[in-house]
A and B are shown apart, each in its own frame.
Chain A
Amino acid sequence: MARVFHATAGSGRSAARRAPGTEPAPAPAPRSASRGGIVAGYLAPHPPHLVYAENPPQNEPRSTGGWEVLRWGYEELRRRLRAHRPDVLIVHAPHWITMVGHHVNCVPNPRGVSVEPIFPHLFRYHYDFRTDVDLAEAIVEEGSRAGLVTSAMREDGVRVDYATIGALHLANPDWDLPVVSLSANNNPYFYSDASLTEMETLGAATRRAVERTGRRAVLLASNSLSHLHWDTEPDLPEDMGVERPFTHAQYAGDMELLQTIREGPTSRLKAAVPKHIEATSSETKAGSLTWLLAAMGWPAIAGDVLAYGTVIATGNAVVEWVAP
């Protein structure tokens, strides 16, 4: 295939990657430190296993670890995220399933215990975080102005789902940044896939809202990649002796997408993401990744793949895109 554009793979920081604690987080570039807008985006998959494996105090179940390479990727993500000095994290997650329209959590202080109905033995998480309500409302307004069905969710009683909590915890376990959480207007299991065109509209609306409110934002797309997986579980959930890709084809599909990501530019993903969904039932069919890239304006850059690994056979990658 003729490539009309070549971007450098990885960010400048990837070469300086170190284990956490061995060096301070890199200092942000002075030019961008004062600038608002979307400064970075991360593909931030949410398997509850990763939270479970980490044994944070907020999660009730205890584990003996597991899925270390993915979790090390998240440790690197945390260092980089901190260096971007964001005002807010905006997350789009596929397991806050809203059948009608795109909803934005506008509850100022979501709090509660999220017992996950699918993985209750792994994920019973006590959450307590702050919402950037002004930005959340701005996203609702911009989305609706763009012709989307949108809703501002103001109900304390709506349980925050594990895909939202998982990505946010893994990216920022201190929970010391305000959050905006967006729902997925689809059902990955039986209603429908997201309209990726609509996700582009939502992404553009998110960008306008960030710019209008002057926020310095980091985006999290809470999606796994290839999504076929086992339908039973080993006695020890973190038994890495049985962890592997579902098939070679699923693995190869993920590698093809990640290669495109590493080469850039992101505009190639407009075609590569639907192809990857077709080939691997990728969870990106929920639209989070398309939303993220559209919000960043499909920048002419490469993504930096920080880690890849499987979780109950699904493919998961931690990826960074730094806004140019």
Chain B
Amino acid sequence: MTPGRAPAALVPTMPHLLAGDPAPSWAELAAATRTVGDRLRAAGVDTVLLLSTQWFTVLGHQVQCDERLRGRRTDENWYAYDYGHLDHDLAIDTELAHSWADAIDAAGMQARRTRYEGFPVDTGTVVAARLLDPDGRGRWAQVSCNLYADPAAMAAVAAAGVRAAQGLGRRPGIVAVSGLSSGLTPRWIRPAEDRVEPEHDRWNRKVLDAIRAGDRGAVLAMREEFADAAQADSQFRAFAFLDGSGAVDRPGEVLAYGPVWGTGAAVVWWGGSGGRGESTERES
């Protein structure tokens, strides 16, 4: 492969992005996620290394090793809406998945190879896959989000994924599926009513400003405070994962930011370098 930094992205978890009648913010977030998919293809990415905070686990680091994740997800909360019923069909790069699991073990952590018929693919993964890869031609390697492990471990897991991809000559893209603030509006609302509460909004913007500035140290330093002040999704482990891949030590391009049922969601793109057919990063 051509050596260089992998392109990376942060995309939202919530299924509202697939609503037939979306709020303006949901539509913008969905369009931005599709843009990320276009850019990943343009960058010549072979396999996306995916972390979804909605596949949260507590023991070791689960790596999806089933070659095909085909089925229908009925969301246990959003089933009354069109976006609560999601068909999915993901092709897993099993060679890379096994290699990633081996690399996790070799780094002194515990990988857990997951291959079970009927395994419930999480809503965040399905939403991201449908928007990033609408034609279903992409390949994925996926690891779970261990909520009991130190965030530094998530960074080490991502680094292991990048090493595994390089070892196989794959050009990886790195995608973390996670929200920002998670203060959900605790009632049924109309899409037009959707907004992030001011304190959470202030925190989300502060984090996104640091991301725009390419100040990964600042983002990592404020992660815990962000988690406490704005109930950050999974204590914003997603950023630790992205950081471990080495992909976010440069300015991130915030393609969209807005509310999804009171939570904060953003689409952020970090262009890579040195890949096949790499596109030039656009100014936001």
Contact = CB atoms under 8 A, between A and B. Distances in A.
Interface of A: 96-101, 103, 113, 115, 117-121, 124, 149, 151, 153, 155, 157-159, 161, 183, 185, 189-192, 229-233, 312
Contacts of B231: 190-192
Nearest to B59: A233
A157 B72 contact: yes
Contacts of A230: 59, 148
Interface of B: 53, 55-60, 62, 72, 74-77, 79-80, 84-85, 110, 112, 114, 116-120, 122, 144, 146-149, 182, 184-188, 231-235, 261
Nearest to B76: A158
A253 to B, nearest CB: 18
Contacts of A192: 231
B76 A183 contact: yes
B85 A99 contact: no
Given A189-B56, A191-B182, A101 B187 contact: yes
A159 B74 CA distance: 8
Contacts of B57: 117-118
Given A99-B261, A230-B148, A231-B146, 19 more contacts: A96-B76, A100-B185, A100-B261, A101-B186, A115-B117, A117-B57, A118-B56, A159-B74, A159-B76, A159-B120, A189-B56, A190-B53, A190-B182, A190-B233, A192-B231, A231-B58, A232-B60, A233-B110, A233-B112
A99 B80 CA distance: 13
Contacts of A99: 77, 184, 186, 261
Nearest to A198: B186
A229 B148 contact: yes
A155 B55 contact: no
Contacts of B188: 100-101, 149
B186 A158 contact: no
A64 to B, nearest CB: 19
B233 to A, nearest CB: 6
A120 B184 contact: no
B74 A158 contact: yes
Contacts of A153: 76, 79
A151 B146 contact: no
A115 B119 contact: yes
B190 to A, nearest CB: 13
A18 to B, nearest CB: 36
Interface of B is mostly: loop
B79 A231 contact: no
Contacts of A189: 56, 147, 234
Contacts of B147: 189-190
Given A151-B80, A231-B148, A232-B110, A117 B120 contact: yes
Given A100-B188, A101-B188, A231-B149, A115 B112 contact: no
A269 B53 CA distance: 34
B184 A100 contact: yes
A115 B75 CA distance: 15
A97 B77 contact: yes
B141 to A, nearest CB: 17
A127 to B, nearest CB: 12
A118 B62 CA distance: 8
A66 to B, nearest CB: 15
A55 B188 CA distance: 41
Most buried by B among A115, A190, A191: A190
Contact of B119 (A101, A103, A117, A231): A117
B114 to A, nearest CB: 6
A226 to B, nearest CB: 14
B148 A157 contact: no
Given A100-B186, A149-B186, A124 B118 contact: yes
B59 A232 contact: yes
The 6 closest A-B pairs by CB, nearest first: A157-B74, A231-B148, A155-B79, A232-B110, A98-B77, A120-B116
Nearest to A187: B182
A121 B112 contact: yes
A98 B80 CA distance: 12
